[in-house]
Amino acid sequence: MITKQTNTAAPSHCARHVALIPAAGVGARMAAGSPKQYLAIGAKPMLRHTVDAFLSSPLVVHTYVVVSADDPFIDGVLPEAKAAGSRVTVLRCGGATRMESIRNGLHALQDTIAAQDRVLVHDAARPGLNAVLIERLIVETGDHEAGGLLALPVVDTVKRRGEGSVATVPRDGLWLAQTPQMFTYALLCRALDAATDPAAITDDASAVEALGLAPKLVEGHPRNLKVTLPSDIRIAEMYLAHDSTI
């Protein structure tokens, strides 16, 4: 149980924004010699790009990175995390699944984060995030009770393949979820505590939706793609080489 019990009456204008990056995965589909979050994108490890996006935003007061207890790479990628006054902290409490890593991270921060502080959960493998997208999510979500997330409206024709059949799925109202996904600490804890079937929780927003709430969809950008396959690295490099305004 990780539900926050204190400071529940904190006014929204006092809320802080913090980032939480689960980075304990192994990235099996990349077929690489190290977890994919440590693969190089341009001149830097993927996770370094991701963390730097939050450090570049004046709206995010601190960034927490959740890794496995025996992670051998993180100290070399985020050496400043050990320095006093750093805006990034490494939490060595990663779990076997993304959801478990997030829950463990939230539990580790229960005495640090107030109930109404906003937590921006972001995939370590989305290195194309930047301060513009972070600001867009924070500003457009505002005080929405169910939080919000970056997402892209579906523009291609969608097909559903069945056994011996193919059907076109209406794309009206369909969006592709991205991250960050932002919720109050209290709401995110409650949603994940209530999630009894990890397989049904494909992202943090789906856990909130299971409570009967509707997070706000804020339009993201293709540069914020998730690096999953080796071919995605080149696409991410192209976006990062042109850090234009969005």
Structure tokens at 17: 């924004």
Q: Are strands 118-121 and 17-22 parallel, antiparallel or unpaired?
A: parallel
Structure tokens at 55: 């450090």
pLDDT at 10 over 70: no
Q: Which helix (H) or strand (E) holds 64?
A: strand 62-66
**Phi and psi of 177, rounded to 5°?**
-70, 140
Considering the segment(s) 12-240 as one domain, its CATH architecture is Alpha-Beta Complex (3.90)
Domain boundaries along the sequence of the chain: 12-240
Q: Which residues pair with 45 in a beta bridge?
A: 40
pLDDT in the model for residue 155: 95
Structure tokens at 193: 């505590």
pLDDT in the model for residue 196: 83
Helix (H, G, I), strand (E, B) or coil at 132: helix
Who contacts 14 (Cβ-Cβ below 8 Å, separation ≥6)? Answer: 114, 116
Q: Are strands 216-219 and 118-121 parallel, antiparallel or unpaired?
A: unpaired
pLDDT in the model for residue 14: 80
**Using one digit for the tens of pLDDT, what is the confidence trace for 197-245?**
877 889 999 999 999 999 999 999 999 999 999 999 999 999 999 765 5
Which of the 8 DSSP states describes residue 107?
H
- 3-state SS record for 140-208: HHCCCCCCEEEEEECCCCEEEEECCEEEEECCCCCEEEEEEEEEEHHHHHHHHHHCCCHHHCCCHHHHH
Q: Give the amino acid at 124.
A: A
Structure tokens at 202: 């494909």
Report which of 227, 224, 225 is spatially closest to residue 27, judged by C-alpha positions. 227
Q: Which helix (H) or strand (E) holds 19?
A: strand 17-22
pLDDT at 246 over 90: no
Q: How far is it, in rounded angstroms, from Cα 217 to Cα 212?
A: 16
Neighbours of 108 (CB within 10 A): 17
Instruction: Identify whether the C-beta of residue 39 lies closer than 8 Å to the C-beta of residue 233.
Output: yes
**Using one digit for the tens of pLDDT, what is the confidence trace for 76-131?**
999 999 999 999 999 999 999 999 999 999 999 999 999 999 999 999 999 999 99
